[in-house]
Amino acid sequence: QNQKMDKEHERDPEEEEDDDRDADFVESRPARRSSTKAATTKQKPKTTKEPAKKGKTKRNKPTEVPDEEDSLFGLVQRKTATTIAVTDWISRYEEKPEEAVLELINFLLRSCGSTVKIDEVSGESSDMADVLAQLENDETFIKQGDYPIISKTRELRRYKENFLEFWDKLIAKCARTILHDEYLLPTLISWLVAIASNALRPLRHTTTIVGLQIVRSLIKVCSALKKELVITNRQLDTEENKDKRSSTKVRDLKEKAEDLHNKVKDLEHNIDQVFKGIFVHRYRDILPAIRVECMTALGQWVCDYRIVFLADKYLKYIGWMLNDRNADVRVAALRALHDIYGNDDNLPQLESFTSRFKKRIVESTLDKDVGVSIAAIALTTTIARTQGILDDDEEFLDQLNILVTDNNARVRLAAADFVNTLYIEPEKIVKDKSATIEHQLLALIKFIAENCHQDNMPNYVVDALWGKAGVLKAWSGMTDLLVSESFNDLSETEQGVLVRLLNITIKKALGVSVCPKPKTDDVKPKLSEIEKNKQVITDLMIEMLPELLERFQADHLYIELLVEIPQAMNVDVYHEQRRAAYFEKLMSLLKDIFLKFTQDKIFSNCSTTFKSLLGVHALQSKAEAIFRQLRDELAIKFEEVFPNLAAIDEGVDEQGEYGLELCLRRINTLYLQHDLSALALFEKAKSLIDAYTSTQYQNDQVCILALGLMNQELLWKFKNIDLDSEIERADVVQKRDQLRNRLEKLLEEKMATPAVQRKAYDILCDLLIVFRPGMRGKHAAFSLKSSEHSELAEAILGHFRRQLDEPIQDVIARLRAKRTKAKEKEDEQATQKQTKGSKKGEEDEEEDSNKKGKATGQNKNKGKERAPEHVDTEAEDVAPISDEESDKRQFIILGLAKLLTYDIVPVATYAPPLLINFLKHGPTCKAMMDNYLHHAKATQTIESRYPFWRLLLDTMKLQFSRYVSAETEEVREAELHYFELLANRFAMSFGLIATRKDCQIILALLQPAVVFAFESMPDNISFLDGLHRFITVVGGKDGPAYILQQTSTIAEGALADREPPGEDDPLYAPYWDWIAHLKNLIAGKKPTTKKTVTSGDENDDAAQEGQTDGHVESGVNRPVKRRRTTAATRKRNPKLVPLEIRKVGDDTTLTATASSKRRNTPARSTSNTTTTSSTKKTRAKRKSTSNSQYGEDEVDDVDSAEDDSMFLSLSSSSSQKKNTKKRAPRSSSQSQKANAKQKQKQKQQQEEEQEEEQEEEQE
C-alpha cells in the first residue's frame, strides 16, 4: 500500500525545486535560546550514517507500520470517531503515560506523511535530532508530493479539519486533569518545536498548525480558568467581609484561587513556549501557507486573549507581514487586523500600532492584488467607524474616496462601504426622516462633487452604493430639493450632480446597467421590484417632471438628463388616474425642446423618449398626433432653409447654411428610430449631393447629412415594403441605384473630402450587405447584379488601399519611437522600484531582508548604468498616430472586415489586403483584424475551397511582393523586416505549441510556401525567413522531418539545371538557415525565437553578446543570418562563410569549411553558442506565461520587445560600409579566453535577471 501511494503521489519538478529552497529556509533566522528544551542539534548529513555506540539501545530506529482503522490516524480520518479517539487516548494515558505520548508522537509523524514510527519517546534534544535525521534519510518520505493536511484525495480531503478538531477536543478534555501534569504538555511542545524547525516541508507545515491549534485551545482553557478565578476571588472577598466568616471556607477558597492562578500561569508559560519556539520562526517561513496560518492564528489569539496578546510586541508581527511579497499573507494580516479593530474595547491599546502602520494600511488599498485591496479597504472602513483616527488625514481620505470609482467592481463595492460609513450614515437624524434624507442627500452630493471630476464618475458611485445607501431611492427628496430655494444655495457643480443623480438612480432602479463594467455579482432586480419602482417613479413624475422641464428649459445640460426620465414611466398610469392632460403637456414640452435646442445629445435622447411614449397604450393616439405635428414642423422648416440651387452661384449666407445643417441633423437623428419616409425628402437630399459633386455647393457637413438621409429613407422603404406592389419594388430599386451611383462617384480619388468619403464608404459597405447578391424569393429582385456588386467591391477596395497606404519607413519609425518610449518607461519604473526598496529597507527590524533588498537595489542600479541597446535617438521626433487619424483608420478597417465576415466579397481577393495591415495602425485596428483572423480560422477549415492556411500564405506573399518590387535598398530592407514580423505574428496565433488540428494547417501552409521560395530564385529565397516560427510551434520531430524531406526534394529539383551556390554567394543563406533550423528541431533542441535581426556590423550589440540569428546545429558554426540579396550586399560583404551541399543518402546536410571566416562576426565554438542558446531559453522562459498558449501581453502587443527589436536593429548602409573590415581568425587560446569571458558575462546577466525577478515578486 505504501509503494502504491508513493507512485500515486510522484512529485512535480516545481515541488522538488521548492524543497530545495526549503532546505535553506533558516538562513536568516535568529538563533534559538540554549535553554529551550526542544532545541535541536546540528543535523547530520544525509549521506553518512554514524555507527551505533556501545550500550546505546536502538530505541529510536524507525520501523514501517501499516495503517490501521483503529489507530489514531484512521480514527481521525472519520469525523464521527474523533471524540472516541480522544476519550480512548486519555484512558491509555492515565494507565501508561509514556506509551500514550509515544502513540501521539507517532500519530503526529503519520499525519506529516511519514510511514515510520519511533519505539520510544524522549525529551532529550539529541534523541529528537536522531529521529529527524533518520526521517530525512527516508527517500520515500522525501519524494512524496502530497501529505495528509494538503491532500485533495477523497480519503484525506477533510483530514486537516478533523486533525485540528482532534487536538482541540484533546486539550478541552484534559483541561481539568492531565493537562496540568508536568509531562504531557512539556514533552509534546518539545517535540513540536523540534519538528517545526526541520527543513522538510511536510514536517514543518503539519507541526506548525498543530502548535498554533494547541495555543488556540489553551487560550480557551485559560479564559475559562480566569473566569472561574474571578468568581472565586469574589466569593473570597464576600466571605472575608462577613461578620461570622468560616475560616475553613476562607482557607479552601484561598487554596482554590491559588491553584487556579498557578494553572493559568503554567498554561501561559506553555503558550509562550509555543510562541517563541514555533511562531517566531515560522511567521516568515518560505512557504506562504505557513505564514498565512501564523497570521490567522495570531489574529484569533489577540481577539480571544486580549489580556496577553493585545500588546505591541505581538501586534508588530502582523504589521510586518503587511509588506509580505505574497498576496495571501497580506490578506491574512489585514483580515486579522480587521477582527481586532472590530472590537471597540481594543481601540485604546491600538493607538500606538495605528500611528505606526496606518500609512501602510492605507497604501494597501492600492495594492496590485484585488484581494489585498479589498481587505485593506474593509479594514480602513472598520477604523473609520472610530472617530478621530482618519479624520485629520485628508491625503489618506482622498486616496480612499477615489476608489469608489475604480474600474474593478469588487473594489468599488468595498469602497462603497467606506464612503457610506464615513459620509452618509453619520447624517442620520433620529425621529426625523425627511431631515435625515435631506442631510444624507447633501452629503452624497458634496462627496461626488469633490471626488468625481468626470461626467461618468457619478455612475460608478451609484453602482457601488446601490443597496447600501437608502438615500439613492429617495426620488421625492431629490425632486423637492430641485424645486426648493435650497437648490440655489448649491454650487453649479453640485446642482449638476443632483440632476445627474436623479437620472442615474432612476435607470438603476429599472435594472439598467449604468457602468461600462457592471458588478460581476450584481443581480438584476426581479420584475416585481422593477414594476414597483416604476410605479413609484411614475406617481412622482406625472406632476413633477413637466415642472422640472419648464424650470430648467434654459440649461441644455439639465434638459439632456431630464428628457430621459419618461422612458422609465408607465404611460398607462396617466389613463388610469385620469391625467391625460399631464401626458399631453409632457409630449408638447418634449416637442418644443426638440425644436428649440441644438445639441445632438438632446436630439438623440428625445428621439428615444418619443419611441418609448409612442408604444401601444390607451393614450397612443394623442402621442401620435403630437409626433405628427413635430414631423410636419420639421418638413416646413426644411423647405424654408433649403437653398435655391438654381441661383446657388449668388452664394448662401452663413445663417442659411447653419439652419439647413441643423434641420438635417434633427431629421437624421429622428430618422434612426422613426419612419419619416412620408416626408419624401430623398429627391431634395439627392439634389444636395449632386450640387456637391458638381462643386456648386461645397459643404461637407450638409453632404454627409444628405447621404445619411438618403440611406435612411431607402432602408425604411425596404423594411416596410409591400412585396406584392410592383410600384414599391421599382421605387426601392430606383432609389438604391441612385444612391449607389453617387456613392461610387464620391469615392473616386480627389472627388470629395476625407470626411465625406468615409461616410460614403460606410454607407456603401452597408448597401452591399443589405442588397447582397443571392437573395431568394420575392427579395431576389433587390439583389445587386454580379457586375454591379464587383464594381462596388472594387471601389471599396481601392478606397481602402488609398486611405491606409503609408510608407513602410514611417511605420518602422513610429514603432521605433514607441519602443524607445517603452524603454524609458521601464527605466523609470525600475528607478522607482529601487527608490521604494531603499526606503523600505529602513523600516522595522527585518535586518536580513533589508540587507538583501539593498544589495539587490545596488546590483540593479549597476546594471542600469549601461547604455540601452538598440535605441534610435532620431526616432523620438516621430509623431505618433493622432486620435483623429486612428479613428479614421479604424473606420476603414471595420468596413472591409464587416464585408468579409458576412461573406459579401471574395475572401481570396479582399482578405490579404486587410491582413497585410495587421501591425501598422495601432492596437485597436490590430484587435479588429485579430477578431477577423479568429473568425476565418473557425469558418475556413482545411477542407474549404479557400482554407485558412491559404489566407495566411497569400497575405505573406502579398507583403513579400512589396519587398521584391521595392526600388531602393532602404525600402527593401524595411519591407523584409515587416514581412518577417507579420509572419511571426501569424504563427503566434497558433500559440506556443499548436494543437493537432492547427499542426495540419501549418504543415499544409509550409509545403507550398517552400515551393514559392524556390519559384523565382534567388529573389524569393528570403521567403524562408518568415517560416521559422511556424515550424517551431508544431513541436515534436515528425513535422520538421517531413518538411525537411519536402524542402530537400524541392531544392534538388530547383537546383537541377544550375550549379550549386558558390562559396562567396550569400544569396542562399536563408535556405541554409532554414535547413539548420529544421535539423535542430529534429535533434530535440529548442531553438530560441529571434530576438533581434542584427545589421551585420562588427560592433553590433547582439554580435558582441553572442546572439546568433537563427539556430545552431551540432558541430556546425552557423553565421549570423544574411539579409541582403542584392549586388550591393555582395560588394559590402565580400567575405562570407563558404558553405557546401553534401548528399548523404536522401538527406541534404549543411557543413562549413574549416576556415573560421565569418560575416563581420568572430568565430565562436559550438559550446559557446550552445551557452548563448541556453541563456536565450532562460530569458524566454522568464518572459513566458507558463501556459500552453502565448499570453496576451506577449503576443498581442505590437510594441513587444520581441517584435519591435527587429525594427530597432536597422542601421543605415553607410554604417555597414564603415564596419566591413576583414577579421583574422582567432587562435585557440584567444577563442578560449573569449569563451570564458562570454560565459562570465552571461552568468552575470543571469544573476541580474534573477535578482530583478525577485525584486518584482517582492514588489
**Residue 535 DSSP class:** H
Q: Which amino acid is located at 2 in the chain?
A: N
Sign of torsion over alpha carbons 14, 20, 23, 25: negative
Torsion of CA 1152, 1157, 1161, 1166, to 10 degrees: 40
**pLDDT greater at residue 674 or residue 778:** 674
Q: What is the predicted pLDDT for the residue at 123?
A: 58
pLDDT level of residue 703 (50, 70, 90 thresholds):
very high
The helix, strand and coil proportions of the chain, stated in percent and rounded to the nearest 5, come to 70, 0, 30
- Average pLDDT value for residue range 1226-1235: 51
pLDDT level of residue 665 (50, 70, 90 thresholds):
very high
Q: What is the predicted pLDDT for the residue at 1066?
A: 76
Q: What's the gap between Cα 595 and its chain centre?
A: 47
Q: Cα–Cα distance between 1080 and 1094 in angstroms, integer?
A: 21
For the cut 80, the answer to whether the pLDDT of residue 924 exceeds it is yes
Q: What is the predicted pLDDT for the residue at 972?
A: 87
From 217-226, 348-357, 690-699, 823-832, the region with the lowest mean pLDDT: 823-832
Q: What is the predicted pLDDT for the residue at 716?
A: 94
Q: Cα–Cα distance between 739 and 507 in angstroms, integer?
A: 40
Q: Cα–Cα distance between 973 and 1206 in angstroms, integer?
A: 11
For the cut 70, the answer to whether the pLDDT of residue 1184 exceeds it is no
Peptide bond into 516 cis (omega under 30): no
Q: What is the predicted pLDDT for the residue at 4?
A: 43
Place of cell 478606397: 799
Contact 540, 475 (CB under 8 A): yes
State pLDDT tens for residues 751-793. Answer: 788 899 999 999 999 999 999 888 877 788 888 888 888 888 9
Q: Cα–Cα distance between 612 and 594 in angstroms, integer?
A: 15
Using left for φ > 0, alpha for ψ between -120 and 50, and beta otherwise, residue 813 falls in: alpha
For the cut 60, the answer to whether the pLDDT of residue 1205 exceeds it is no
Residues 6+ apart with CB under 8 A from 1194: 1183, 1184, 1185, 1200, 1202
Q: What is the predicted pLDDT for the residue at 832?
A: 67
Contact 315, 353 (CB under 8 A): yes
Q: What is the predicted pLDDT for the residue at 147?
A: 87
Q: Which of 1004, 1016, 1031, 1021 is nearest to 950 (CA)?
A: 1004
Q: Cα–Cα distance between 932 and 905 in angstroms, integer?
A: 14
Q: What is the predicted pLDDT for the residue at 1063?
A: 52
Q: Cα–Cα distance between 785 and 773 in angstroms, integer?
A: 7
**pLDDT greater at residue 141 or residue 568:** 568
From 106-110, 213-217, 532-536, 840-844, the region with the lowest mean pLDDT: 840-844
Q: Cα–Cα distance between 875 and 817 in angstroms, integer?
A: 5
Q: What is the predicted pLDDT for the residue at 621?
A: 92
Cell of 968: 531602393
Cell of 626: 403630437
From 625-634, 730-739, 918-927, the region with the lowest mean pLDDT: 918-927
Q: Which of 1080, 1124, 1120 is nearest to 1104 (CA)?
A: 1120
Q: Is residue 1119 classed as helix, strand or coil in its secondary structure?
A: coil
Most confident of 600-609, 853-862, 1237-1246: 600-609
Most confident of 246-260, 812-826, 1238-1252: 246-260
From 265-269, 274-278, 389-393, 602-606, the region with the lowest mean pLDDT: 389-393
State pLDDT tens for residues 826-874. Answer: 777 677 656 654 444 444 444 444 434 444 444 433 333 333 333 333 3
Q: What is the predicted pLDDT for the residue at 987?
A: 92
Q: What is the predicted pLDDT for the residue at 802?
A: 87
Q: What is the predicted pLDDT for the residue at 666?
A: 95
- Average pLDDT value for residue range 134-156: 78
β-bridge mates for residue 1147, sequence order: 1144
Q: Cα–Cα distance between 895 and 906 in angstroms, integer?
A: 15
Q: What is the predicted pLDDT for the residue at 1123?
A: 38
Residues 6+ apart with CB under 8 A from 233: 257
Q: What is the predicted pLDDT for the residue at 1001?
A: 93
Q: What is the predicted pLDDT for the residue at 1182?
A: 34
Residues 6+ apart with CB under 8 A from 660: 641, 642, 643, 702
| Percent above pLDDT 90 for the chain | 35
Q: Cα–Cα distance between 493 and 495 in angstroms, integer?
A: 5
Q: What is the predicted pLDDT for the residue at 920?
A: 85
**pLDDT greater at residue 710 or residue 34:** 710
Most confident of 683-697, 871-885, 1050-1064, 1226-1240: 683-697
Average confidence score pLDDT of the chain? 76
Q: What is the predicted pLDDT for the residue at 430?
A: 56
Using left for φ > 0, alpha for ψ between -120 and 50, and beta otherwise, residue 1141 falls in: beta
pLDDT level of residue 207 (50, 70, 90 thresholds):
very high
Q: What is the predicted pLDDT for the residue at 1214?
A: 33
Cell of 826: 521601464
Residues 6+ apart with CB under 8 A from 181: 97
Q: What is the predicted pLDDT for the residue at 390?
A: 63
Q: What is the predicted pLDDT for the residue at 891?
A: 85
For the cut 60, the answer to whether the pLDDT of residue 1003 exceeds it is yes
Q: Which of 967, 983, 1221 is nearest to 1093 (CA)?
A: 983
β-bridge mates for residue 1144, sequence order: 1147
Rounded (5°) CA angle 1110-1113-1114? 155
Q: Which of 273, 253, 119, 265 is nearest to 188 (CA)?
A: 273
From 707-721, 1026-1040, 1149-1163, the region with the lowest mean pLDDT: 1149-1163
pLDDT level of residue 1256 (50, 70, 90 thresholds):
low
Sign of torsion over alpha carbons 66, 72, 74, 76: negative
Most confident of 233-242, 661-670, 884-893, 1216-1225: 661-670
Residues 6+ apart with CB under 8 A from 505: 462, 472, 473, 475, 478
- Average pLDDT value for residue range 1151-1163: 33
Contact 888, 803 (CB under 8 A): yes
**pLDDT greater at residue 853 or residue 1112:** 853
pLDDT level of residue 429 (50, 70, 90 thresholds):
low
**Cα Rg of the chain, angstroms:** 40
Q: Cα–Cα distance between 387 and 369 in angstroms, integer?
A: 29
Q: Is residue 1085 classed as helix, strand or coil in its secondary structure?
A: coil
Phi, psi of 1205 (to 5 degrees): -65, -25
Residues 6+ apart with CB under 8 A from 159: 76, 77, 111, 148, 149, 151
CA separation, residue 522 to residues 463, 512, 1053, 1124 (Å): 9, 11, 67, 60
Place of cell 489618506: 396
pLDDT level of residue 897 (50, 70, 90 thresholds):
very high
Element (H, E) at 1054: helix 1038-1054
For the cut 90, the answer to whether the pLDDT of residue 75 exceeds it is no
Q: What is the predicted pLDDT for the residue at 435?
A: 83
For the cut 80, the answer to whether the pLDDT of residue 1064 exceeds it is no
